[in-house]
């Protein structure tokens, strides 16, 4: 954490847990370490009064049919109807299950904002600060960082709760790309920056 990293005001902050879904976690080599860390971060954030939000990627039949051939990344989802919204693989992992009152959005592209009403929900709650955690660093985290920065949110990225199949890409994003628009922090940093409730 940089010494100039500003304190986090819990009441106008949300911890966004992004794509921590069974089918996605199964493709991450360090998921056995990642899940307990994420659970710990959620518990700390809740105890300090931070809002918690969950973002998941999943499709219904109409949404599969609307994916154009021009979309290289998502067109492959139409084969075999991968990540259908009713499949167990698209559920949030049961070790970090949402609680009543948490925000929950379902998306059909990489970023947390592009195909959801997340921005409006956050504005309604007077939230202007995001703590981002997600899988993968080069997917949902990167897309959400860029979009959130353009929407003028203050952004923290919880480095030890993000993961990517390519560790080199993860490191480059954390060390060279994200710091231009975000504050890179650890779970311990988050707890310290939130202070006492």
- 55 band by pLDDT with thresholds 50, 70 and 90: very high
pLDDT in tens, 72-97: 667 666 666 678 788 889 999 999 99
- Selected residue with higher pLDDT from 104 and 60: 104
Query: Residue 95 maps to which CATH number?
Result: 3.40.50.850
Whether residue 73 lies inside any domain: the answer is no
Helix axes 187-194, 31-47, angle to 10 degrees: 0
pLDDT in tens, 112-162: 999 999 999 999 999 999 999 999 999 999 999 999 999 999 999 999 999
| Total of domains in the chain | 1
Output the pTM of the full model.
0.93
Instruction: State which residues form the domain around 114.
Output: 10-55+91-194
Whether residue 72 lies inside any domain: the answer is no
How high is the pLDDT of residue 93?
93
Average pLDDT, the chain: 92
Q: Percent of the chain having pLDDT more than 70?
A: 95
CB atoms closer than 10 angstroms to residue 77: 18
Whether residue 164 lies inside any domain: the answer is yes
Whether residue 70 lies inside any domain: the answer is no
Whether residue 110 lies inside any domain: the answer is yes
* Rounded Cα–Cα distance for residues 81 and 58 (Å): 10
Residue 142 has, within 13 A of its CA and on its CB side, a CA count of 16
Whether residue 27 lies inside any domain: the answer is yes
């Amino acid at each position: 954490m940089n010494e100039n990293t500003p304190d986090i005001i819990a009441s106008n902050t949300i911890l966004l847990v992004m794509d921590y879904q069974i089918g996605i976690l199964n493709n991450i080599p360090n998921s056995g370490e990642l899940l307990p860390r994420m659970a710990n971060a959620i518990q700390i954030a809740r105890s300090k009064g931070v809002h918690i939000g969950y973002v998941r990627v999943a499709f219904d039949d109409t949404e599969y049919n609307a994916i154009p051939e021009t979309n290289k990344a998502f067109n492959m989802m139409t084969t075999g109807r991968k990540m259908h919204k009713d499949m167990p693989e698209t559920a949030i992992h049961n070790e970090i299950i949402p609680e009543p009152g948490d925000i929950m959005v379902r998306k059909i592209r990489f970023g947390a904002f592009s195909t959801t009403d997340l921005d409006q929900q956050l504005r309604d709650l007077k939230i202007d600060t995001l703590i981002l955690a997600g899988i993968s660093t080069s997917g949902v985290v990167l897309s959400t960082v860029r979009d959130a920065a353009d929407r003028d949110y203050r952004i923290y990225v919880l480095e030890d709760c993000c993961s990517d199949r390519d560790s080199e890409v993860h490191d480059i994003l954390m060390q060279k790309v994200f710091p231009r628009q975000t504050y890179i922090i650890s779970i311990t940093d988050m707890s310290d920056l939130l202070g006492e409730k």
